[in-house]
């Protein structure tokens, strides 16, 4: 299938190549389940009518995932650096966490921000929502801009986390990320785009 978009005419040309584009999930079974993650095998029918399988990961007992671009009253973005065992290295990220079953996204975002950074947000604004890794995971992430911050406690996360909170002026955030990566520290790729979305929203206040 070919999709071609023309900005000048705002036309999408779709060449279907005589395919029946009805695709559907037929079944999904859990092949392994841990405390926080499970591996699933998905059986589906593709656009040609062939039945295929796909392996993916799912979160266990969670209502979703939230990530926060938090800006202090001084105009600083809160970044985090923590060791990630799957990569075996430190990674620079934004505050984020899992939504407990029955918990709202907004409540989870406020709770996780306090737990990880020690800052409470009076105002949350929706930034974006979408899948994280479409080929490997069923996870969908929701991002918020958090402002009206008040420092209410210690940072560092819960007993299972060792988090270093880094304060960076919003206008210097992209340069900070580039320098960190150049120095050999991994940067969570979605951070770059979320910072830009947040900067534009924050700057319009």
Rg, the chain, Cα only:
20
Considering the domain architecture, whether residues 47 and 94 belong to the same structural domain is answered as: no
Question: What are the two backbone dihedrals, phi and then psi, of residue 62, each rounded to the nearest 5 degrees?
Answer: -140, 150
Considering the domain architecture, whether residues 103 and 141 belong to the same structural domain is answered as: yes
Whole-angstrom Cα distance, residue 98 to residue 48?
37
Give the count of domains, the chain: 2
Considering the domain architecture, whether residues 153 and 83 belong to the same structural domain is answered as: yes
Considering the domain architecture, whether residues 48 and 72 belong to the same structural domain is answered as: no
Whole-angstrom Cα distance, residue 150 to residue 73?
8
Residue ranges, the chain, pLDDT below 50: 9-13, 16-18
pLDDT value at residue 22: 81
pLDDT value at residue 5: 58
Considering the domain architecture, whether residues 10 and 81 belong to the same structural domain is answered as: no
Q: Which domain holds residue 27?
A: 2-59
Give per-residue pLDDT as tens, 75-86.
999 999 999 999
Its sign, for the CA torsion 195, 200, 203, 205, is: negative
Q: Phi-psi category of 108—alpha, beta or left, where left has phi over 0 and alpha has psi -120 to 50?
A: alpha
The CATH number of residue 87's host domain is: 3.90.79.10
Considering the domain architecture, whether residues 102 and 88 belong to the same structural domain is answered as: yes
């Amino acid at each position: 299938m070919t999709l071609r978009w023309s900005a000048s005419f705002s036309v999408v040309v779709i060449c279907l190549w005589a395919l029946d584009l009805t695709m559907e999930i037929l079944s999904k079974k859990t092949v392994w389940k841990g405390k926080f993650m499970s591996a699933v095998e998905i059986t589906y029918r593709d656009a040609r009518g062939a039945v295929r399988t796909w392996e993916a990961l799912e979160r266990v007992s969670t209502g979703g995932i939230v990530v926060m671009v938090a800006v202090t009253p001084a105009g600083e973005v809160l970044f985090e650096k923590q060791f990630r065992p799957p990569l075996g290295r430190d990674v620079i990220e934004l505050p984020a966490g899992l939504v407990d079953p029955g918990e709202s996204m907004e409540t989870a975002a406020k709770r996780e921000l306090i737990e990880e950074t020690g800052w409470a947000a009076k105002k949350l604004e929706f930034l974006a929502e979408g899948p994280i890794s479409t080929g490997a995971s069923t996870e969908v992430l929701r991002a918020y801009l958090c402002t009206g911050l008040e420092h209410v406690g210690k940072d560092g996360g819960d007993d299972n986390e060792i988090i270093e909170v880094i304060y960076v002026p919003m206008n210097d955030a992209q340069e900070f990320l580039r320098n960190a990566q150049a120095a050999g520290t991994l940067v969570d790729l979605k951070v770059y785009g979320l910072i830009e979305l947040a900067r534009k929203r924050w700057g319009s206040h």
